[in-house]
Amino acid sequence: MQVGILEGCNVENSTTSTLLYAPPGTYWGQFDEISKYNVHLNVFERLWAAWYAFMQNDVLATGILSFVMHELVYFGRSIPWMIIDRIPYFNKYKIQNQKIPTAQEQWKCAQLVLLSHFTVELPQIWLFHPMAQYFGMATGVPFPTFLTMAYQIAIFFVLEDTWHYWNHRALHWGPLYKRIHKVHHQYSAPFGLAAEYASPIEVMMLGFGTIAPPILLCAVTGDLHILTMYIWIVCRLFQAIDAHSGYEFPWSLHHFVPFWAGAEHHDVHHERFIGNYSSSFRWWDYLFDTESGPEAAKKRRGRRMVKEAKKAQ
């Protein structure tokens, strides 16, 4: 275990040494020992420190925690949408309500997603820790402040959305679409579980936009905690799964945050196979006139008529 899991803690050197190099015991034994000498840490910080102390290997500890978290969040967030698909009441909120995914389609999708998770995403998850730690990523306690994590995650959202827009748009170029992106468009009416239903190349290509911003921030500022990365991944998974849910509610986020994309934005992309290339926000599609759907077409016609009227004057 690397020295530093208790970085920033005001404990005596002898005590720190005892905590860091104690003979491997049970996880709860480590938790009790850390709690005894670090009463200033909150419960979550003690649980966190105990995990790394118990594992005695930062890369292994981060790899296991990251992959288990990813699977629990991905399928945990997808299951409610699968249940909603089976409840007729919610059909009125389904954007393409004539296309409800069958159990067979859901199962086929889950098989490819699981294969992708173990063969493509697991190696990326495992390599993230040594890469980020090289640039100074912290894994210790105490945790960063809420404000620090919030502004860093906001930066990640903006950078990922930019990466996603341009690469997603490139994937709709004929040869790339045919060889790579067509797999993801197998379902013209998307559903939550299909968020990561894609070819391995696309998973790596678009997934880079999720992993690279934290590493870049860490390389530039030297200020990144792995917990911030975990929260970012959870937020990104929720965004991707909800965008593929196929449901538009009166309380959907874009009604309150107009530049948020959401399911309504992405569902049109799957239905029409063009436009609406962004992941989280709408501004790139607006700026480069790649918005899709009836409303976007209406606005585009309006702008064209205004431009023609000005020319005629």
Express each pLDDT in 14-64 by its tens digit.
Answer: 333 334 444 557 999 999 999 998 999 999 999 999 999 999 888 899 999
What per-residue confidence (pLDDT) applies to 17? 36
Q: To 10 degrees, what angle do helices 200-221 and 122-134 make?
A: 20
DSSP 49: H
Peptide linkage before 144 cis (omega within 30 of 0): no
DSSP β-bridge partners for residue 94: 247
What per-residue confidence (pLDDT) applies to 305? 64
Give the predicted TM-score (pTM) of the model. Answer: 0.86
**Mean pLDDT, residues 257-263 taken together:** 95
What per-residue confidence (pLDDT) applies to 129? 81
What per-residue confidence (pLDDT) applies to 95? 94
What per-residue confidence (pLDDT) applies to 302? 64
Token digits of residue 106: 């859901």
Residue pair 106/78 in contact (Cβ under 8 Å)? The answer is no
Determine the longest span between alpha carbons in the chain, in angstroms: 85
Residue pair 156/214 in contact (Cβ under 8 Å)? The answer is yes
Is the predicted pLDDT of residue 225 greater than 60, yes or no? yes
What per-residue confidence (pLDDT) applies to 309? 67
- 46 burial level (CB within 10 Å; 0-12, 13-18, 19+): buried
Percent helix, strand, coil in the chain, to 5, is: 70, 0, 30
Is the predicted pLDDT of residue 124 greater than 70, yes or no? yes
What per-residue confidence (pLDDT) applies to 125? 86
What per-residue confidence (pLDDT) applies to 22? 47
Can you tell me the distance from the alpha carbon of 151 to that of 273, in angstroms, rounded to the nearest whole number? 34
